[in-house]
Amino acid sequence: MLQTDLAEAIGMVAGTLTTLSFLPQVIKAWRCGSTSDISLAMFLGLCAGVALWLVYGLMVMAWPVILANGATLVLAGLILVKKLRDLAQEKRRPSEEDRP
């Protein structure tokens, strides 16, 4: 039982650290209003992988996996949504060639 509690505690600490590591990127993207330095492919892959980890955690009822990946998906998803909005706005802006 003690070993299981230790494993759960390690999982919670690991999940907390990795999830909190996304906060600076989310804050920077919203404050600066730009995601130009962020890779769309990387965040698409990250969000897909984190979503699958969340599904796995739900299937095996692993609370550290569920909580960490649920929170990470929200944070990474916010960045992904901002990136997609920025890309859509870039497409709507007239290019320099189109300007008089």
Which DSSP symbol is given to 97?
Answer: T
Rounded CA-CA distance 61/57 in Å is 5
Model confidence at 96: pLDDT above 70: no
Which domains, and CATH codes, for the chain? 39-84 (1.20.1280.290)
For residue 92, the model assigns a pLDDT of 84
Model confidence at 14: pLDDT above 60: yes
∠ CA 80-59-13, rounded to 5°: 65
How deeply is 11 buried, as exposed, middle or buried, from its count of CB atoms within 10 A (0-12, 13-18, 19+)?
A: middle
Q: With CA atoms as reference, report the closest residue to 56 among 44, 39, 68.
A: 68
pLDDT in tens, 18-52: 888 888 988 888 888 888 888 999 999 999 999 99
For residue 100, the model assigns a pLDDT of 57
Among the residue ranges 1-10, 11-20, 79-88, the one predicted with the least confidence is: 1-10
With pLDDT > 90 as the criterion, what percentage of the chain qualifies?
A: 50
For residue 44, the model assigns a pLDDT of 94
The CB density around residue 82, as the number of other CB atoms within 10 Å, is 18
Model confidence at 65: pLDDT above 90: yes
